[in-house]
Amino acid sequence: MTLMLLDSASLWYRAYYGMPDTLVAPDGTPVNAIRGYIDMTARLISIYKPDRLVACLDGDWRPSWRVELFPEYKANRLEAEGEEEEEPETLTPQIPILLDLLDLFGIPVVGVDDYEADDVMATYAEMEKGPIRIVTGDRDLFQMVDDKRDIKVVYLAKGISQHDLVDLKYVSDRYQIPGERYALFAMFRGDPSDGLPGVRGIGEKGAALIANNFANVDDVLAGAHGAHESLSPALAKKIIAGSDYLKIAPTVVQVARNVSLPRVDISMPKTPKDLSQIYQFKERHGLGASVDRLISALGW
């Protein structure tokens, strides 16, 4: 039976930009992100029929321990004043309403201080029995794919209706690397969306060559210093020049798999005796058929 892990911020941003901003509550509050999130969740539950479900949150989208190692981590997303990631002003008031609705449905919401949602999802995937489906629009979780344990990423880059179910073959085919070495590949290639430069002068092609010939950073550095046959002198020189970055890259790039998670019941919510609170909430916030679709998907 399947555990489904929702990268909640990824879902509500996708919903916010994918649903019309004309969707508002009776008091005029926008609800497009809420309705889109609930619609996507209902679709995903219907498709994958999980027996466990967790909506995962960022406790901190720039964890102090990652920033301490690499101050530029996600610094590209900071506002001009350098304090917080800019969030659309019509999305911000929707998030507390959405979290209240998830609570009414009994869907557990988990975030842990000083960790990103990716770390929370990775820890659940590490701890729980498979099958596990990690729902996200972010490639970072490709590093968690594990065919033996049946851990796959429900990758939403193309939307729900055309989403990809990422396994090791998908990673291998897309990047021409051994599927289990995505994290190593990402360390060298970098990720501009997270402000991670990778190793200077090494792009996707060079990162793929490295991932095809080495299993970890230490082996790559040893190969560069030892004139490994797979590395040209120019590529080896770039690797050696990036040694300082490569010392911290594994900790910064790899997801944490040992987060101290709160003890919560992650089994699918049971049918409540009375749905009146949910229906009242639906009417108050103008959530229409979206709530009905989630009720139906849950089999209530």
Please report, for the domain that includes residue 12, its CATH number.
3.40.50.1010
- Sorting pLDDT into bands at 50, 70 and 90, what band is 76? confident
Q: Domain range for residue 236? A: 179-253
Number of domains in the chain: 2
pLDDT tens for 89-141 read 899 999 999 999 999 999 999 999 999 999 999 999 999 998 999 999 999 99
Q: What is the CATH number of the domain that holds 188?
A: 1.10.150
**pLDDT over threshold 60, residue 82:** no
For residues 265 and 247, state if they share a domain.
no
For residues 204 and 88, state if they share a domain.
no
Interatomic CA distance for residues 161 and 40, integer angstroms? 10
- Sorting pLDDT into bands at 50, 70 and 90, what band is 81? very low
The amino acid occupying position 40 is M
Angstrom CA distances, 86 to 96, 216, 282, stand at 17, 35, 29
For residues 110 and 94, state if they share a domain.
yes
For residues 31 and 173, state if they share a domain.
yes
Q: Is 114 exposed, middle or buried (0-12, 13-18, 19+ CB in 10 A)?
A: middle
pLDDT tens for 216-233 read 999 999 999 999 999 999
Helix (H, G, I), strand (E, B) or coil at 233: helix
Interatomic CA distance for residues 167 and 181, integer angstroms? 12
**pLDDT over threshold 80, residue 62:** yes
Q: Which region, left, alpha or beta, applies to residue 28 given φ > 0 means left and ψ of -120 to 50 means alpha?
A: left
For residues 218 and 157, state if they share a domain.
no
Is there a contact between 118 and 6 (Cβ–Cβ < 8 Å)? no
Most confident of 72-86, 115-129, 191-205: 115-129
Q: Which residue has the tokens 């820890």?
A: 123
Interatomic CA distance for residues 163 and 184, integer angstroms? 25
**pLDDT over threshold 90, residue 85:** no
For residues 195 and 74, state if they share a domain.
no
For residues 149 and 110, state if they share a domain.
yes
For residues 214 and 74, state if they share a domain.
no
For residues 221 and 124, state if they share a domain.
no
For residues 59 and 191, state if they share a domain.
no
For residues 238 and 104, state if they share a domain.
no
For residues 134 and 204, state if they share a domain.
no
Mean pLDDT, to the nearest integer, of 205-218?
A: 97
